[in-house]
Structure 1
Amino acid sequence: MSELSREHAFVLRETRPQALPFVPELRLRLADEAISLWQATEADLGRMGLPPPFWAFAWAGGQALARHLLDHREIVRDKRVLDFASGSGIVAIAACLAGACKVVAADIDPYARAAIRVNAADNGVEVETPEIDYLDRGADDFDVVLAGDVFYERPMAARVEPFLRAAQNAGLAVLFGDPGRAYLPTMGVAPLATYDVPVSRAIEDRDIRTTRVWRFTWPGSTN
């Protein structure tokens, strides 16, 4: 069995299709519990110390951004869209449903890419999942860059913010969803919308996360 088919089978085995009350237009294959899935992922690969299985949960930032796209379809209609750090693919799938002409879901985790393909097929849309690190490549091939819940960790935020600002400097539309993570930029940003998003207790310390969709108000440094 190939590595890709193993990942696909793992996603099918360890998750189940679930409706999202906040984004009822789509369904995702999600996990019910984080720790056991994390352990199962490590066992499947035979390695310890792997990153958490972010792809198996509907994070607040992604849900809010997906909701915003479906309510404001003109943002992505007929556009080339990059969903950065896509995780489950919720934002990428929403962009497809909102009329984007091309959607690329970028994630460096091969399990995430497998989950995105499964979820996209389940929702009847086509999403590309290349093995590309867009932090190094840039987003010049797109019209819109989206990111849901990416400011949760200092090293990640330190790389993602310049990447997103560089995309804006190049004339792209850039939107990101965030429920108040520790490393959300505090300057040069403005909220577009605010949502109260239901979330799983498997990944959060509460049942509802007040979450905003943000834009940059000035490009800032890309260094």
Structure 2
Amino acid sequence: MKSSGMPHPDPAAFIQANLSISPVPAIPEILLHTAGPASGLWRLAGREEADPPPYWAYPWAGGAVLARHLLDRPEKVIGRRVFDLGAGSGLVAIAAAKAGAAAVTAIDVDANAIAAIGLNAAVNGVSIVAVAADIIDEPPPEEIDLLLVGDLFYDPSLALRVMAFLRRCQAAGIEMLIGDPERAHLPHGELTRIATHGVADFGAGSAAKAVQAGVFSLSAMLKDAIKPEGPAATA
């Protein structure tokens, strides 16, 4: 999409003026600025070919199931340092903060998402550090106890990058929880389901649809899957 030549509006001001605050379906404890049919979201997002889609404007099922799980099981995050990868609206990060995390960092590649996270955190009365960055090709972050990953398996190339990052985090001793409504590229063979919750899935701005989404952990690494060959292997 080519630019219309109009200046970008200020993201925070636009979100406050055009995205109404409402409770998340199945998660009434959390309020979010959410896009509706008359939000005029095109004026803020998707104006250029390189602009990321405005996924942050809707609560997706993978994030919703993680948020529901953390609020129901606060012992998963109490006192822990939490990272929310691909944070979008900040739904998962907000749930972690409400559940008692010691510190919460929300990461997303979209600067508009970072603005939304700040506003949504304020609406819910929690403190979150929001960072615009793509970290999945980098070493695991330091000073983190729990990595939360909501709905990042919708694209094949992204799914491969995410799994490589999660394996590096696992090797570094970082615990992970993954939320997903079983998108097409979810690597079932590498995950263990630990919970299922009924949540709504908005998709790309469509009406909310109820789904049974899963919370997963990363399966144990198969350290003996590749063994050295030759005399050393039997020494």
Change (3 A) 1:94 1:118: same
The one of 14, 18, 23 aligned to 1:19: 23
SS at match of 1:171: coil
TM-score by length of 1: 0.88
Residue 29 of structure 1: which of 33, 37, 46 is its match? 33
Structure 1 residues 36 and 5: alpha-carbon distance in aligned structure 2, compared to 1, 3 A threshold: closer
- 2:178 is matched with which residue? 176
Q: What per-residue deviation string (whole Å, max 9, x for no partner) do you get for residues 63-89 of structure 1? A: 100000011111111000000000000
Displacement after TM superposition at 1:134 (Å): 2.2
- Note if 1:191 corresponds to 2:176: no
RMSD: 2.4
Which stretch shows the higher mean deviation, 91-100 or 6-15? 6-15
Would you tell me which structure has more strand in proportion to its own residues? 2
SS at match of 1:141: coil
CA contact (8 A) 1:34 1:202 kept: no
1:97-143 CA distances to partner (integer Å, 9 max, x unpaired)?
01100000000100000000000011000000123332224223200
Separation (CA, whole Å) in 1 of partners of 2:201 and 2:54? 16
More deviation, 149-158/127-136: 127-136
Matched, 1:40 2:46: no
> Structure 1: how far apart are the matches of 2:182 and 2:38?
21
The structural deviation recorded for 1:156 is 1.0
Q: Which runs of 5+ in 2 are unaligned?
A: 1-6, 224-235
**TM-score normalised per structure 2:** 0.84
Q: Sort the Cα spacing of 1:94 and 1:187 in 2 relative to 1 into closer, same or farther, 3 A.
A: same
> Structure 2 vs 1, CA of residues 5 and 104 (structure 1 numbering), >3 Å: closer, same or farther?
farther
Cα distance, 1:52 vs structure 2? 1.4
Distance 1:196 1:106, change over 3 A: same
- 1:106-185 pair list within 5 angstroms: 106-135=107-136, 136-185=138-187
Deviations 1:144-163 (A, max 9, x none): 00011000001211111111
Alpha-carbon distance in structure 2 between the residues aligned to 1:34 and 1:102: 35
- Report the residue type matching 1:130 in the other structure: V
After TM superposition, the runs of 4+ consecutive aligned structure 1 residues lying more than 4 A away are: none
* Aligned-pair identity (%): 39
CA 1:9–1:79: 2 relative to 1, 3 Å:
same
- C-alpha displacement of 1:34: 9.6
Q: Structure 1 unaligned runs (5+)? A: none
Farther off after superposition, 124-133 or 111-120: 124-133
Q: 1:50 Cα deviation (Å)?
A: 2.3
- Larger Rg computed on CA atoms: 2
